[in-house]
Every structure is written in C-alpha cells, then in structure tokens.
Amino acid sequence: MKFCTVKQYFDDENNNNVTNGIATTVIPLPNKHLKIKANNKEMEQYEQELLRNVMPQELTKLILAANYLNFKEALDFFCRTVANAIQNKSVDYVRKFFGLESDFEPGEEEKLCKEFAWSFEGVDED
Amino acid sequence: MKNINTAYYSMAETSTSTSASNKNMKGSPITNLAPDQLFSILLLLPIDSILAFSMTCKRFKALACSDTLWESICRRDWGPNAVDVLKSSNFQFQQQWMRLYRQISKLESVSCHKMTYPDGEFELPKPRASHSLNFVSDCLVLFGGGCEGGRHLDDTWVAYIGKDFEKMLKWQKVNSGLPSGRFGHSCIVIGDFLVLFGGINDHGSRQNDTWLGQVTRHETLGITLSWTLLDVGTIAPPPRGAHVACSVNNKFMLIHGGIGLSGLRLGDTWVLELSENMCFGTWREIVTCPSPAARSGHSLTCIGDSRVVLFGGRGVGYEVLDDVWLLDVSEDILKWVQIQYELPNIPGGVSLPRVGHSATLILGGRLLIYGGEDSYRHRKDDFWVLDVSAIPSISMQPTTLNSKEILAKMWKRLKASGYKPNSRSFHRACADHSGRYLYVFGGMVDGLLQPAESSGLRFDGELFLVELVLQL
C-alpha cells in the first residue's frame, strides 16, 4: 500500500504542500527504518541527526507529508521526534521551536500559569 | 489526506484575527497540522509539557485543553477500564476530563462513611481480623479470619454492590466449611475468579493450598459462591500465613514472604500461572538479589503495567519496616528494586513504618495506605498516598531520594473527614470498580472486649466506606 500512494504522489500534479525536498527525506525512510528497526540506539542517533539538520518547520512538513503518503511508521517517528524535542521544556522554548507568538491578553498568561501550576515540576530551563 | 491541503488553504484565506495570529498562521506549519496529529504528539508527552504547549498561544490552549484529548490522557495514565467505568457510572463530572485529572492528581483528602444495613433480621459477619475481602463480579466477598479466643473462621459472605457505590449493604452467608478455616491467608482477583492461598488455622498449622472461588448470581437462588481446590502439581511454595499476594496483569498471582513452618519469617517470591481454562496452576519461585528481607504483615499491590509495590511489614528481628520495593514482571530478568528515601525529609514521615496495614490501588494509579500498627503495637488511623510514578525512571537504579520535591510527590498524608473509624490493624480493604471508593472491614482495634481480656485487643466487625474527595 505504501508504494501505491508513493506512485500516486508522483503522478499527482496537485500536491502543493509536499515539496520534492520533503519527498527525498520521507521516501528513503522505509528502507532505513527496516534496516535499523532492531537497533534502538541507531534510531535515536538518526533522530538526533534529523533534529540538528532539519528545522522544526520542516519537521512539521514531514509530518504532513508522511500523513499524505499514509506512511504510518514515518508519521509515528516524526511525531515522536517532535515530542522528544519539546518534552520538559519551558513555554518560551516551545514557542521558539515552532515559531509561534503569544496572542494572549496581558495577564492572561500569568493566570494560566497559576491554573496549571499543579503539573509543573522539574521543568528544564532552555 | 487531500483534505489537509484544502484545510490549509481555507485557514489562510479566512483568517481575520489579530496580526499576531496571522503571523502564527502563515509563519509556522505547525498550525497546519490537523488536531488528530497534534493529539498524537501531545499524547506522547508528560502532563506538564502538554500544559506548556497549551500556553504558547490561544489556538493551542483551546486544543490542548479539549476534553477529547484529556479523555485519551486519562485512558493513557489510568487505563481504559477506569475510564469506561467512569463513563458508564452515575458520577457527575460532566465529562470534564481535564478537571477530573487535575482533581485526582491533587487528591488531598478522603471522607469516611459508615455503612448502613436494611431493616429486619439479617445476620452479620462476626468481628474478625486477618480475613480476606475482595471485590469481584460486582460483589463484595469476605472469607475466614481470626476472631476472639484466637479461633479461626471458615465462613464466606457475599454482598451485591453493583455498578455504583452503596451505603446500604445486605450481607449473605453463602458457604461454610470449604476452604477449611484459616486466617492470614491471601485472596486476590483474576478475571472473575478469586484465588486464595495459604493461611494459618487455630491449631497453628500453616497451609499452602490454592483455592479458586467463583460468584454466580441466579434470578431465583440469589448469589452463590463455589470454591474449588486448584490442582498445582507437585511444586508449591512452603506453607505460610501473614504473607502477601497480588494479581499481576489479571493473569498471574505473585506472593511474597509470610510466616512459615516453625514460625520462621520468609522472604521468598513465587509466581502462580493459571491455565487458560483455570483448571490447573503452575508455581515457580523467583530468586533475585537483592530482594526484600523476610517479613510478615506487609503489603503487595499491582499498580498496573506489570509493576508491583511491596511496603512495610514486620521483619525477622521483630522490627517494623518502612521500606518500599518495586518489581517489574514484564522484564526479561526479574529484579526487586528498592526505592530508598529519607524518612526525616517527609512531613509526618515518622509514622510511616507499619505492619498489618492495607495498600489499595485507587483511581490515578497510586496506592492508598491505611492503618496498621507500629513497633509499640499502637494502631493507626492515618491515610497516606504512595505515588511510585513520581520517581524518575533513572532511579530504578538504587539511589537515595533526597529531593524534597520528589519526596513530596512520593508520600502524601491525606486529611480525613466524615465518620471517624477506630484505629486498626490487620483489617482488609478493597476498591470498587471505579477506584474512587474503598470498602474496609474488620481488623484489631483498641478497647477491652470483656473485663477479663487483658490484652486490650478487640476484634472489629465494622464495614465502612472510604471516598476519595474530588472537588469538582
């Protein structure tokens, strides 16, 4: 099924949000995945490499591409990579990582901080 | 899949909010991910990271605080059973899963309720201690125990509870004679079966037989319970009483320690595996080093995920213990790991060492520890929550926990309101379906039974309910 959708992708002229650059990263994944499936450490290294070389924006595009291609293993892998990148990080770090800006009213963020204080323990500084 | 493309375009076209959100919309592809994909990422994160994510911007606050997501988080952290029970029960929480999760995490107090019995002539179970009390097939089941004069009991009592907690209960005596009378036996639940092991009778004989009990509810005959002796072949643990047992993953039974022949305290660990048809069992011993020292009157509880927690008890030198040990049954090489902690660093921690307490799994995956007695035989009435998940996985290696923050999460003494039951030890407690209610029966309490009774001991015959207080 994986290869069917890949073929469809190449034949499809209307896939605006899956650029060629993304395709070259996603397509080789099945082979790499199969090769290093048994070895968790290598997968971790590949993940670190990915995080270093690929901007967070590109990472989210990878997720979209993997979803479009219906490639479950890649989707799981990219989601896990994003999760590991933002785990135990502060709000500012997460914002910077995704290129977001706060649109809260002044004081609203402090309120939220108090409301959610019950869960914040052992969070890393940037 | 193609829908994502159209969603992307329609969002960009229809966005008319502030410039900041516009910036967010066009600048970061993250906002193009469908809620489902964002949920996939969030479900891999610990709670504090999910809430940090929700504080990045308004859109993500709405998303990360949605009850659809939080129902999945409850499923992830509490198990699907707990969530299904909550959904089908009468508990009014308006499906506000995030609020419920917070309330469970912040649990600060319990409320006790005295049970009432319907009017009329109904026989009630005699006061007793070191009996067994279990919740199985929507019923509360009580068996055996020791009563005044040091005599054993061999009666089985059943009360139908149903899907929601009841403050009024009707006990029914269903059996007498089998299994033979005993106290200090263990009884756990696997599927719809009770699995009873060992115990001591009033001649002082230790047992090592295993019994299966099954509840049946007839329309006309009412409730019956049948006990059958389990065939375990030639290998069985040495006879004992005052040991502990728990069911793991609803498939295995794990036992530890107890008092064996000649009154010697044991420190062995055994696993019973039952056949598919529940007609045959196989025992095997687990030998690890290090392992919890020999002891009796301690507690062993499964906290889900194949992990069991052992706590307290009385050791070989008659000392009352406070150590906490963890065993993960799913690992290839089984090993007991001690979770070391500094008692003086815990508020009220000096009262932690105990024997004859109960440790029950409650909603949220933590243990509710109640009662027991200390080395001076003073009986207790305090409630503690033991949270082993608070310990970072790194300290699965033996290290000592000193950080006050981690300790504050590991041990927490709860306030108790409502009815005040007597301090007690060697009582029994079990949770209902929901994990929000605990039934407690019997035990040894202070007070003279008769003027002639010099030991100051009294067996209690009270059944009361402990409710987790959730301020919703």
Cβ-defined contact of A118 to B28 (cutoff 8 Å): no
DSSP string, B168-219: B---EEEEESSSPP-BS-EEEEETTEEEEEEEE-TT--EEEEEEEEEEEEET
Does residue A58 sit in the same domain as residue A69? Answer: yes
Cβ-defined contact of A91 to B57 (cutoff 8 Å): no
Chain B residues within an 8 Å CB radius of A90: 52
> Which backbone phi and psi does B129 adopt, to 5 degrees?
-140, 165
Query: pLDDT digit of tens for each residue in chain A (126 aa)?
Result: 344 444 444 444 334 444 554 555 555 555 555 444 445 666 677 777 766 666 777 777 778 777 777 777 778 888 888 898 888 888 899 888 888 888 888 888 888 888 888 887 533 333
Does residue A12 sit in the same domain as residue A64? Answer: yes
Separation CA B244–CA B188 (nearest Å): 10
Residue B292 pLDDT level (bands cut at 50, 70, 90): very high
pLDDT, position B406: 64
Q: Say which of B23, B61, B102 has its CB closest to residue A101.
A: B23
Does residue A70 sit in the same domain as residue A98? Answer: no
Q: Is B80 exposed, middle or buried (0-12, 13-18, 19+ CB in 10 A)?
A: exposed
Chain B contact present for A22, CB below 8 A: no
Does residue A14 sit in the same domain as residue A68? Answer: yes
pLDDT, position B1: 39
State the angle between helix axes of A29-36 and A40-53 in degrees (0 to 180), rounded to the nearest 10.
150
Predicted interface score ipTM higher than 0.85:
no
pLDDT, position A40: 64
Does residue A99 sit in the same domain as residue A118? Answer: yes
pLDDT beyond 90 at B413: yes
Residues found in chain B: 472
pLDDT, position A17: 44
pLDDT beyond 70 at B270: yes
List the helix and strand counts (H, then E) for chain B. Answer: 9, 29
pLDDT beyond 60 at B87: yes
Does residue A61 sit in the same domain as residue A101? Answer: no
Report which of residues A76 and B358 the model is more confident about. B358
CB B298 within 8 Å of CB B265: no
Q: Which domain holds residue A83?
A: 1-87
Does residue A29 sit in the same domain as residue A74? Answer: yes
pLDDT, position A27: 56
**Nearest-neighbour CA in chain B from A43: distance (Å):** 17
Does residue A94 sit in the same domain as residue A73? Answer: no
Does residue A17 sit in the same domain as residue A58? Answer: yes
pLDDT, position B198: 97
**Pair of tokens at residue B426:** 């060697």
B441-456 pLDDT, tens per residue?
A: 999 998 755 554 555 6
Does residue A77 sit in the same domain as residue A42? Answer: yes
Residues found in chain A: 126
Chain B residues within an 8 Å CB radius of A60: 28-30, 32-33
Residue B51 pLDDT level (bands cut at 50, 70, 90): very high
CB B337 within 8 Å of CB B326: yes
pLDDT, position A68: 78
Q: What's the Rg (C-alpha) of chain B?
A: 25
Question: Which CATH number goes with the domain that contains A46?
Answer: 3.30.710.10
Total domain count, chain A: 2
Mean pLDDT, chain B, rounded, equals 86
pLDDT beyond 50 at B243: yes
Cβ-defined contact of A91 to B55 (cutoff 8 Å): yes
Does residue A2 sit in the same domain as residue A61? Answer: yes
Does residue A66 sit in the same domain as residue A93? Answer: no
Listed ranges B281-295, B334-348, B401-415; the one with the highest mean pLDDT: B281-295
